[in-house]
Amino acid sequence: MPYELKSARYLARDILLRAVRPGDTVVDATMGNGHDTLFLAGQVGPEGHVYAFDIQADAVESTRKLLAEQNLSDRVTLLCRSHAELVEAVPAGVAAVVFNLGWLPGGDHSITTLCASTEKAVSAALEILKPGGVVTVCAYPGHAEGTRELEMLTDRLASLSNREYNVLRHTFLNAGPGAPECFVIQKNF
């Protein structure tokens, strides 16, 4: 199959395929319908673990079903709580934290990730990363809260010390206004 430069999520997946190893502990900060959780559960293998967050019970239920169908439930902890509580819920030393911002596909568009809690959660994610670990954030500035999140992420991530982190911002330059973006932050070894 030819390589396709298709979407912000594909870019994040490419990075995660390299960064996440069998036995790792990782976090899906926005589980939604569970596709990223399932992918991460496959990557960490039977010795690894995934912590997945969502504030919507429907999202947790869809993900629970998806994992059960694939026999992967026992390597995932599903949390119906905000990713702003990441530090309280997840032990430090994770290999990756994955954010796919916005609303639940097929769900209520008024329930979306919010700038203030996203900022808190991204800071928490950076805190619990192990050396060499990565945070990926797919951001969608095609709506007002998404624009605020993109501006916050750009300012916050640009201010990180390059002695501690490397930060990449992937932009689809010819996709017009509102195109998704993918940020990748790696904690230095």
Ligand X SMILES: C[S@@+](CC[C@H](N)C(=O)[O-])C[C@H]1O[C@@H](n2cnc3c(N)ncnc32)[C@H](O)[C@@H]1O
Cβ(100)–Cβ(65) below 8 Å: no
Binding segment for ligand X (CB under 6 A), chosen from 17-25, 48-56, 129-137, 171-179, is 48-56
Structure tokens at 123: 């800071």
Q: Which residue is nearest to ligand X (CB)?
A: 32
d(CA 119, CA 116) in angstroms, rounded, equals 5
The answer to whether residue 141 forms part of the interface with ligand X (CB under 6 A) is: no
3-class DSSP string for 117-178? HHHHHHHHHHHHEEEEEEEEEEECCCCHHHHHHHHHHHHHHHCCCCCCEEEEEEECCCCCCC
x-or-dash pattern for ligand X, window 67-86, by CB under 6 A? ---------------xxx--
The answer to whether residue 113 forms part of the interface with ligand X (CB under 6 A) is: yes
The answer to whether residue 168 forms part of the interface with ligand X (CB under 6 A) is: no
Separate counts of helices (H) and strands (E) for the chain:
6, 7
Structure tokens at 156: 């916050």
The answer to whether residue 124 forms part of the interface with ligand X (CB under 6 A) is: no
Q: Tell me, what amino acid is at 183?
A: F
The answer to whether residue 54 forms part of the interface with ligand X (CB under 6 A) is: yes
Binding segment for ligand X (CB under 6 A), chosen from 15-23, 28-36, 128-136, 148-156, is 28-36
The answer to whether residue 51 forms part of the interface with ligand X (CB under 6 A) is: no
Q: Least distance from C-beta 7 to ligand X, angstroms?
A: 12
The answer to whether residue 59 forms part of the interface with ligand X (CB under 6 A) is: yes
In terms of CB distance, is 15 or 163 closer to ligand X?
Answer: 15
Cβ(26)–Cβ(48) below 8 Å: yes
d(CA 67, CA 65) in angstroms, rounded, equals 6
The answer to whether residue 53 forms part of the interface with ligand X (CB under 6 A) is: yes
Choose, by CB under 6 A, the member of 48, 102, 146, 180 that binds ligand X. Answer: 102
Binding residues vs ligand X (CB under 6 A): 30-36, 53-56, 59, 82-84, 100, 102-104, 111, 113, 117
